[in-house]
Structure 1
Amino acid sequence: MNGLRVAALMAATITTGLMTGAYWAYGTAFMPGLAKVDDKTFVAAFQAADRAIVNPVFLGIGFVGTLLLTGLAGLLSIKEKALPWIAAAFVLYLITMIVTVAVNVPLNDALKAAGDPNTIDVTAARAAFDEARWRTFNNLRTVVALAALTLLTWALYLTGKSAQP
């Protein structure tokens, strides 16, 4: 049971790190890069990236899997010193999911629904997308995911420390 607990906690920490990195990369590279291109390129590139990211690996292992693994790590750590840290990380990561589903995904979906960049008013589509709102909430989920990652890292430390004689 101890091995499974540690493995679940490690997997939760790793996937939280991956998700934090995905949000961070969007905030520090992808969106700043897109901010410098013309409207047609912005719409086309964002639509393509959003279609690509909606896949079983990202959604299953990353987005949803992170929450499930963190929950499993918590359940397997019920009587451990690391439990409060894992539980707090679970809540924080859940907040990133809520922000994503409530803010970022609807903006993404609206931009995809605007249509083919070759046939729509791309300036209007880009303006309706509201890049500033998308970036603000992406920054929020990045910081919250980083906090969850930090807590899970601390939980790993506590778990390792408690295993020492």
Structure 2
Amino acid sequence: MKVAYGWVDKASNILNNKIGLDAAGVKQSYQQLLTQMSQQKQKAGTLNTAIDNFIKTTHSYWSGLFHCYEIEDFPRTNNDLEHAFGMLRHHQRRCTGRKVAPSSLVIRGSVKLACAIATKLHSFTASDLAQVDIHTWLELRSQLHKHHKARIEQYRFRRDPKAYLANLESRLL
């Protein structure tokens, strides 16, 4: 029990990052701890299945676990991120006068959320915006346009499925 508690405490200390490591440093320290836990899980006694579950769950979230160390003021937990989404929905409802967030939030939400978080932390000037890579911006616009077209097709199908399918069939044949 003490061994398992020690590992969880060490994991907490690594993730709190009070020593100020960069994302790669936090990732490496955490990976070393997981390796140690995996190799010495028999020391945890009856909690070795819990250690296996901890390692398995950590690996399933691994790809998104360290973004908060790469981007300053990025929400660290799902609760923090959910709060950011809630704020965005609230502001969208206030701006549009609707009771629910507009459907454009589904299509452009990734951009709107990033902008909302970024502008809350920093005021951008025209020179800041001029430094953006034009090719990255065009690629993002293209992706958003694809999402928008998909939403339009979904709407057309819901509105008149027979006409939509007839049009699709005529294009395929």
Q: Compute the TM-score of the two structures, normalised by the length of structure 2.
A: 0.30
Q: Which has the higher helix share?
A: 1
Larger Rg: 2
Q: TM-score, normalised by structure 1?
A: 0.31
